[in-house]
């Protein structure tokens, strides 16, 4: 038996082998995910809504568990096919788009929504970023004879589009106000992911956070100037995994807090504010070939020059698949051998002899982000206790 993995990854490897899995998969550590969910829930003030970010958790059974654990039905959705699937799978959910959809995608949603009790007129907020898109959505509402709830994207410092100034917002809200049969103002969405990302010499994270919040408040004031009697259910959405810890404070202008990635914690979320959260998804790939030394095509002196005497090049492995957006996690000193070239099909890694993997063992990597990666590798293998207990399919598109 190999000693290359520590106790945790030896346990994952054993569980995969016992389950007969012998191809690259994503393993989800469900207990870790649920502990992360409890940590996140504890940060959300009772008067605020937690909105789970679907693109970072794009697996219906996973969302089911997380919505139960965090007692929320609010989701942020980023993709029209997933929007339709969500409305059918979660007919009681409250959905907010996380990016503006082309009006043709919105039309497609209404034309192809399957049988469901989900009522878009009550449960869905479309995201609008410009007066031009607002005009398109007004036309769509007239054409379909439906009323659309509109959330307006605001720029609180990220500069990824959305309303740039409170007066721009006030002018869009005036248009919304003038068309009550077609549209209803539902709230604002501002994303502050830049907070904490700037080098401290440029701006401290406290200053960035304050700047984003003051900007958010200025947009809220503009909204109140058009709608002096805004209902308490208006959605002031913002945040995301990088800043969710900061919005615990009562000083947050938000009442609707988005987060998703921190629950699975890809490497991009190894942030001081998320230090208590545990990585909960791994790519596991079988070793197809384990070879002594490291050799490249071409004259032997080339491999000698590059690899001789290097501990990390003592063993070569070819994995079942490759080119993942991920960091090697276990065994800890295995590394990619990029000289060989990158391949999605079989990839070359190398490592020291004292961390030796055998054919049919697994290499474990940590995805940089759950977003994207979870859609690409088939059903997630759900690990709990010491076994693979379930397989959860991601959204199909
Ligand atoms: C609008 C918006 N809100 C929130 C998030 C945060 O999502 P997560 O917590 O998964 O990083 C994102 C991520 O891209 C986003 O685009």
Atom number, ligand 1, closest to the C-alpha of residue 240: 6
Residue nearest to atom 4 of ligand 1 (CA): 240
Q: With 80 as the cut, is the pLDDT of residue 97 above it?
A: yes
Pocket residues: Cβ below 6 A from ligand 1: 53, 56, 76, 98, 191, 240-241, 258-261
Comparing C-alpha atoms, which of 133, 116, 139, 254 is closest to residue 191? 254
Residue nearest to atom 1 of ligand 1 (CA): 98
Atom number, ligand 1, closest to the C-alpha of residue 98: 1
| pLDDT band (50, 70, 90) for residue 215 | very high
Atom number, ligand 1, closest to the C-alpha of residue 262: 9
Task: Examine the domain organization and report whether 216 and 133 are in the same domain.
Answer: yes
H, E, C per residue of the chain: CCCCCCHHHHHHHHHHHHCCCCCCEEEEEHHHHHHHHHHHHHHCCCCCEEEEEHHHCCCHHHHHHHHHHHCCCEEEECCHHHHHHHHHHCCCCEEEECCCCCHHHHHHHHHHCCCCCCCHHHHEEEEECCHHHHHHHHHHHHHHCCCEEEEEEECCCCCCCCECCHHHHHHHHHHHHCCCCCEEEEEEEECCCCCCCCCCCCCCHHHHHHHHHHHHHHHHHHHHHHCCCCCCCCEEEECCCCCCCHHHCCCCCCCEEEECHHHCCCHHHCCHHHCCCCCCEEEEEEEEEEEECCCCCCCHHHHHHHHCCCHHHCEEEEEEECCCCEEEEECCCCEECHHHCCCCCEEEEEECHHHCCCCCCEEEEEECCCCCHHHCCCCEEEEECCEEEEEECCCCC
Task: Examine the domain organization and report whether 317 and 253 are in the same domain.
Answer: no
Pair 259, 53: CB distance under 8 Å: yes
Give mean pLDDT, residues 163-176. 98
CA distances for 21 relative to 11, 51, 137, 264, angstroms: 14, 34, 47, 22
Say what the pLDDT of residue 234 is: 97
Whole-number Å distance, alpha carbon 56 to ligand 1 midpoint, is 8
Question: Using CA atoms, how far apart are residues 384 and 289, in angstroms rounded to an integer?
Answer: 29
CATH of the domain at 314: 2.40.37.20
Task: Examine the domain organization and report whether 341 and 230 are in the same domain.
Answer: no
Structurally, the chain folds into a number of domains equal to: 2
- φ, ψ of residue 330 in degrees (nearest 5): -155, 135
Q: With 50 as the cut, is the pLDDT of residue 335 above it?
A: yes
Residue nearest to atom 7 of ligand 1 (CA): 240
- C-beta atoms surrounding 241 within 10 Å: 25
Whole-number Å distance, alpha carbon 310 to ligand 1 midpoint, is 42
Task: Examine the domain organization and report whether 244 and 293 are in the same domain.
Answer: no
Q: Is 224 exposed, middle or buried (0-12, 13-18, 19+ CB in 10 A)?
A: middle
Whole-number Å distance, alpha carbon 53 to ligand 1 midpoint, is 6
Give mean pLDDT, residues 114-141. 97
Atom number, ligand 1, closest to the C-alpha of residue 239: 4
Give mean pLDDT, residues 148-161. 97
Pair 362, 328: CB distance under 8 Å: no
Q: Is 281 exposed, middle or buried (0-12, 13-18, 19+ CB in 10 A)?
A: buried
What are the tens digits of pLDDT across the range 228-283? 989 889 999 999 999 999 999 778 999 999 999 999 999 999 999 999 999 999 99
CATH of the domain at 161: 3.20.20.10
Whole-number Å distance, alpha carbon 54 to ligand 1 midpoint, is 9
Task: Examine the domain organization and report whether 188 and 130 are in the same domain.
Answer: yes
Share of the chain above pLDDT 90, in %: 93
Pair 66, 90: CB distance under 8 Å: no
**Residue 269 belongs to some domain of the structure:** no
Report angle CA 51, 57, 58 to the nearest 5 degrees.
115
Question: Using CA atoms, how far apart are residues 335 and 317, in angstroms rounded to an integer?
Answer: 10
**Residue 2 belongs to some domain of the structure:** no
Task: Examine the domain organization and report whether 20 and 107 are in the same domain.
Answer: no
Whole-number Å distance, alpha carbon 238 to ligand 1 midpoint, is 9
What are the tens digits of pLDDT across the range 187-209? 999 999 999 888 989 999 999 99
Question: Using CA atoms, how far apart are residues 397 and 79, in angstroms rounded to an integer?
Answer: 9
- φ, ψ of residue 309 in degrees (nearest 5): 75, 0
Say what the pLDDT of residue 114 is: 86
Atom number, ligand 1, closest to the C-alpha of residue 371: 10
Task: Examine the domain organization and report whether 236 and 157 are in the same domain.
Answer: yes
Whole-number Å distance, alpha carbon 214 to ligand 1 midpoint, is 20
**Listed residues 236, 262, 288: the one ending a domain:** 262
**Listed residues 262, 289, 310: the one ending a domain:** 262
**Residue 271 belongs to some domain of the structure:** no
Q: Tokens for 144, please give them.
A: 């379909």
Share of the chain above pLDDT 70, in %: 99
Question: Using CA atoms, how far apart are residues 145 and 139, in angstroms rounded to an integer?
Answer: 10
Domain residue limits at 348: 7-27+278-392
Atom number, ligand 1, closest to the C-alpha of residue 237: 3
Give mean pLDDT, residues 343-358. 94
Question: Using CA atoms, how far apart are residues 194 and 205, in angstroms rounded to an integer?
Answer: 9
Give mean pLDDT, residues 99-115. 97
Task: Examine the domain organization and report whether 255 and 334 are in the same domain.
Answer: no
Task: Examine the domain organization and report whether 356 and 254 are in the same domain.
Answer: no
| pLDDT band (50, 70, 90) for residue 318 | very high
Q: With 70 as the cut, is the pLDDT of residue 1 above it?
A: no
CA distances for 227 relative to 163, 177, 186, 316, angstroms: 17, 8, 11, 66
Whole-number Å distance, alpha carbon 368 to ligand 1 midpoint, is 15
Task: Examine the domain organization and report whether 380 and 302 are in the same domain.
Answer: yes
């Amino acid at each position: 038996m190999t000693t290359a993995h520590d106790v945790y990854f030896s346990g994952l490897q054993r569980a995969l082998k016992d389950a007969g899995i012998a191809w690259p998969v994503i393993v989800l550590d469900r207990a870790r995910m649920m502990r992360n969910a409890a940590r996140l829930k504890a940060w959300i003030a009772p008067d605020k809504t937690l909105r789970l970010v679907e693109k970072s958790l794009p697996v219906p059974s996973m969302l089911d568990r997380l919505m139960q654990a965090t007692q929320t039905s609010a989701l942020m959705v980023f993709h029209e096919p997933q929007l339709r699937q969500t409305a059918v799978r979660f007919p009681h959910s409250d959905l907010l788009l996380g990016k503006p959809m082309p009006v043709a995608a919105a039309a497609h949603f209404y034309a192809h929504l399957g049988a469901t009790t989900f009522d878009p007129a009550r449960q869905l907020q479309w995201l609008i970023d410009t007066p031009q898109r607002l005009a398109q959505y007004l036309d769509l509402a007239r054409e379909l004879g439906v009323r659309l709830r509109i959330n307006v994207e605001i720029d609180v410092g990220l500069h990824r589009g959305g309303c740039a100034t409170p007066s721009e917002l006030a002018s869009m809200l005036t248009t919304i106000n003038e068309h009550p049969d077609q549209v209803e103002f539902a709230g604002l969405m501002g994303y502050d992911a830049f907070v904490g990302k700037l080098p401290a010499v440029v701006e401290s994270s406290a200053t960035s956070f304050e700047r984003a919040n003051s900007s958010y408040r200025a947009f809220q004031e503009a909204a109140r100037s058009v709608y002096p009697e805004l209902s308490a259910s208006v959605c002031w959405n913002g945040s995301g995994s990088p800043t969710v810890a900061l919005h615990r404070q009562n000083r947050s202008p938000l009442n609707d807090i988005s987060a998703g990635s921190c629950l699975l914690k890809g490497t991009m979320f190894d942030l001081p504010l998320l230090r208590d959260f545990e990585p909960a998804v791994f790519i596991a790939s079988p070793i197809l070939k384990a070879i002594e030394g490291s050799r490249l095509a071409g004259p032997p002196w080339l491999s000698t020059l590059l690899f001789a005497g290097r501990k990390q090049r003592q063993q070569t492995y070819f994995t079942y698949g490759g080119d993942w957006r991920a960091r090697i996690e276990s065994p800890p000193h295995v590394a990619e051998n990029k000289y060989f070239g990158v391949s999605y099909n079989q990839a070359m890694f190398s490592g020291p002899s004292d961390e030796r993997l055998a054919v049919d063992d697994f290499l474990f990597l940590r995805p940089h982000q759950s977003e994207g990666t979870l859609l690409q590798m088939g059903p997630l293998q759900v690990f709990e206790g010491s076994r693979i207990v379930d397989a959860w399919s991601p959204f199909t598109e």
